[in-house]
Each structure stands twice: as C-alpha cells, then as structure tokens.
C-alpha cells in the first residue's frame, strides 16, 4: 500500500515537472541551465535578435501550451534592453497559451526610484511593476529588492526571497570576533538589522548618508560605536561604489578594525572612467561577499554565492503546491 502511494506521488511530481518549462534570457543563461538541472525541468529554447535600429525580436522555439513557465532575467546594465527583452518574452509566452507566467528576476532593476524624492519625478519602480503585469506576468520572484513596499506595487503574488540568509552563512564562516553590522544609510537599516539578528544578534550601526548629487553621496556621521570593531557593511547593492567608499572612510576615522562588504547585488558600474571594483579594492575593504544575481568574471576579491539552488527549490515548491515561506524560514533562518 505504502509502495503504491510512493509511486503515485512520484508520478505526480514528474507530471508537475513535465508541465513546467524554464527559459533563461540574455542575462541569466548559465543560472537557468543550473536551475533546469537541479529541478529536472526542461530548459526551453528561444531566439532573440536585434533589428538594425535596436528594436528587439523574440520567438519561442519550444511549446509552452498549458505549462507553468519560468522566465529568468536580471534587469541590470543595459537595464532598458534587458527589461524590454523580458517584457517581450512575457508577451510571447502569454500569447502562446501558457498556463501561468512566472518571472524570476534575481536582480530587480529600477527598484531604487520607489517614491518621489522631489516634485515632478517618476516613480519608476511602480511603472516597471505596471509594465510587467500588463505584459502578462502572473508571479514575480526576486531577491532582496531595494524596498519591501514595492511588493504593494503589484496585484499579483510577489516573493521577495532573502539572499541575506545565504550571505549570513558565508559571513559566519569568517569567524569574525567583535562583529558589528553597518547599514551605510537609513534606508537599509531594517535589512541590516535582519542580518545582524541571524548573526547572533550582532550590534548594529547606521551611517547618516546624504545624497549630494545624482549618483553621488556623502557619509555624515556614524550612529553607534565602531571603535575596535570588525565591520560588515551590508547593503542591497553597490552601483558606482560611492556609498561604500565614503562609509569606509568614516568608519576608519572612527577607529573600526577590518571592514568587509556584504551586498545582495553586485551592480558594479563604471563612473567617470573609474571601475567600481577598483574603487572598492583601493578603499581598504578586505573582501566582498555577494550573490550571482548579476554575472561577473571570477575574482579573488569578490565571493559570489550561487542562487541557483534557492531558485530551483522555490520553483519546485511552487509547482508541487508546497509553501515557499515555510521552506525558506527553515533553510535560511529568514522569513520571506
Ligand atoms: C541606495 O539607497 C542603495 O541602497 C545603495 O546604497 C546605492 O544605490 C549604491 O549606489 P552607489 O554604489 O552608486 O553609491
């Protein structure tokens, strides 16, 4: 009797896999392949071409009829092209009779503009959420989005998985004594507090950051004592590196010992001909711990944590009607 039950369950799980398909778009081919191998779900084939004027053309080579489709694409540089490619794929999938269109966006670009700082500005995070939903997305899965409230810009399920659960594991391996977690600005306090909580309730310090110009900032003062403490600065992303460089400067002035950087997303852009990575190396950071939400070449200075397994398990839980929250809490000691 038990054996029959087991066979029935296995048949059902295989059926769920057969009824699903994964597509890795331009930014996420490698991670999509890993996820396909880990889940046993077929990796779909597709074509993407560009017209002479820069317009993008997409076409699915594999059928998606009545399937749960998972499109994987980070929307980093070139953000507009990568976002547009994603929107076109969603449209193609929806028009090809998919059962549901699930979008996995390991790094969710355009999330920083989630409110008007001054009058007459766009709220681009809201516009992007409208675009994704209008194109036909039924569900969004992402990691450590810039602000939690962006979930409310969507009227579809939105899973913001916590990459810092994975990052915390790697920080623990460093065995840092006298550890203080530092948020480089007010906006990141709750995220940094969550990381500090996982790391044996380490003390938390906050830097008062002021934006001096577009893509430029200044660290004004540190809230909390960092003297003779080993520091992990934790932020959702590093773009030009300006925020972190000024944070390191003020932390050193206040007598901090070794300084590490943990970030969920290594955007790492160039600004005025200077590479963000070079800036970070030169400012005295010992090591960077991040994820592969954005792919870069291997580097001894930066440790990339692979998100493939977390995404694969999320997909498996979803197609098998199992709770993603319960699994995530148990596995990574974080809620979602
Ligand atoms: C801003 O609130 C974000 O959390 C990051 O601190 C910021 O976007 C990093 O940008 P950059 O590296 O250019 O200073």
Q: Which atom of ligand 1 is nearest to the CA of 267?
A: 12
Mean of all residue pLDDT scores within the chain: 95
Establish whether 227 is a catalytic residue: no
Q: How many residues does the chain have?
A: 336
Determine phi and psi for 3, rounding to 5 degrees.
Answer: -65, -40
Q: pTM for this structure?
A: 0.95
- pLDDT tens, position by position, 298-315: 889 999 999 999 999 999
Torsion angles phi and psi, residue 29, rounded to 5 = -60, -45
pLDDT tens digits, 276-286: 999 999 999 99
- Ligand 1 contacts CB of residue 243 (under 6 A): yes
pLDDT of residue 155: 98
Per-residue pLDDT tens digits for 60-105: 999 999 999 999 999 999 999 999 999 999 999 999 999 999 999 9
**Position 108 confidence tier, pLDDT thresholds 50, 70, 90:** very high
Q: Which atom of ligand 1 is nearest to the CA of 188?
A: 4
Tell me, using a 6 A CB cutoff, whether residue 267 lines ligand 1.
no
Which residues are 183's β-sheet partners? 206
Choice among 67, 162, 209, 279 that is catalytic: 209
Q: Can you tell me which atom of ligand 1 is nearest the CA of 146?
A: 4
Beta bridge partners of 47: 59
Nearest to 219 by CA among 186, 180, 190: 186
What pLDDT is recorded for position 333? 83
Point out the ligand 1 atom lying closest to the alpha carbon of residue 215.
13
Q: How many angstroms is it from 236 CA to the middle of ligand 1? A: 8
Residues of the chain above pLDDT 90, percent? 92
| pLDDT at position 163 over 70 | yes
Question: pLDDT at residue 336 above 70?
Answer: no
pLDDT tens digits for 235-262?
999 999 999 999 999 999 999 999 999 9
**If you take atom 1 of ligand 1, which residue's CA is the nearest one?**
112
Q: Is 29 left (phi over 0), alpha (psi -120 to 50) or beta?
A: alpha
Task: Indicate if the pLDDT at residue 212 is higher than 90.
Answer: no
Mutation pick for ligand 1 pocket among 195, 216, 239, 267 (CB with most ligand atoms within 8 Å):
239
Per-residue pLDDT, averaged over 52-65, amounts to 98
- Cα separation, 228 vs 312, whole angstroms: 41
**Is the confidence at residue 211, as pLDDT, over 80?**
no
Please report, for residues 87, 263, 321, 334, the alpha-carbon distance to residue 317 in angstroms, rounded to integers and kept in the order given: 25, 26, 6, 17
What are the residues whose beta carbons fall under 8 Å from the beta carbon of 144, sequence distance 6 or more?
160, 161, 162, 163, 164, 191, 236, 264, 265
Report the share of the chain in percent with pLDDT over 70: 99
Ligand 1 neighbour 94 (Cβ under 6 A): no
Reply yes or no: is the peptide bond before residue 78 cis, omega within 30 of 0.
yes
Query: Is 124's pLDDT higher than 70?
Result: yes
185 lines ligand 1 (CB under 6 A): yes
């Amino acid at each position: 009797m038990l054996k029959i039950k087991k066979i029935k369950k296995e048949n059902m799980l295989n059926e769920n896999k057969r009824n699903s398909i994964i597509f890795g778009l331009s930014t996420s081919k490698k991670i999509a392949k890993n996820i396909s191998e880990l889940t046993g779900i077929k990796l779909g084939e597709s074509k993407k071409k560009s017209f002479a004027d820069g317009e993008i053309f997409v076409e699915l080579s594999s059928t998606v009829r009545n399937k749960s489709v998972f499109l994987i694409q980070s929307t980093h540089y070139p953000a507009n092209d990568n976002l547009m490619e994603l929107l076109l794929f969603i449209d193609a999938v929806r028009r090809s009779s998919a059962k549901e269109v699930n979008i996995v966006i390991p790094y969710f670009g355009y999330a920083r503009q989630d409110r008007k700082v001054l009058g007459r500005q766009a709220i681009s995070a809201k516009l992007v959420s409208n675009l994704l939903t209008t194109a036909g997305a039924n569900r969004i899965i992402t990691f450590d989005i810039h602000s939690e409230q962006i979930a409310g810009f969507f009227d579809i399920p939105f899973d913001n998985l916590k990459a810092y659960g994975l990052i915390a594991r790697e920080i623990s391996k460093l065995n840092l004594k006298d550890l203080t977690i530092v948020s480089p600005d007010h906006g990141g306090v709750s995220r940094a507090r969550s990381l500090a909580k996982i790391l044996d309730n380490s003390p938390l310090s906050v830097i008062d950051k002021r934006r001096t110009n577009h893509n430029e900032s200044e660290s004004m003062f540190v809230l909390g004592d960092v003297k003779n403490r080993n520091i992990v600065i934790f932020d959702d992303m590093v773009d030009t590196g300006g925020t972190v460089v000024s944070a390191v400067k003020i932390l050193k002035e206040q007598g901090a010992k070794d300084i590490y950087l943990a970030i969920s997303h290594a955007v790492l852009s160039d600004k005025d001909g200077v590479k963000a990575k070079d800036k970070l190396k030169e400012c005295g950071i010992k090591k960077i711990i991040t994820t592969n939400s954005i792919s870069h070449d291997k580097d001894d200075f930066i440790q990339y944590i692979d998100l493939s397994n977390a995404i694969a398990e999320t997909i498996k839980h979803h197609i098998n009607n199992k709770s993603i929250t319960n699994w995530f809490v148990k596995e990574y000691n974080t809620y979602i």
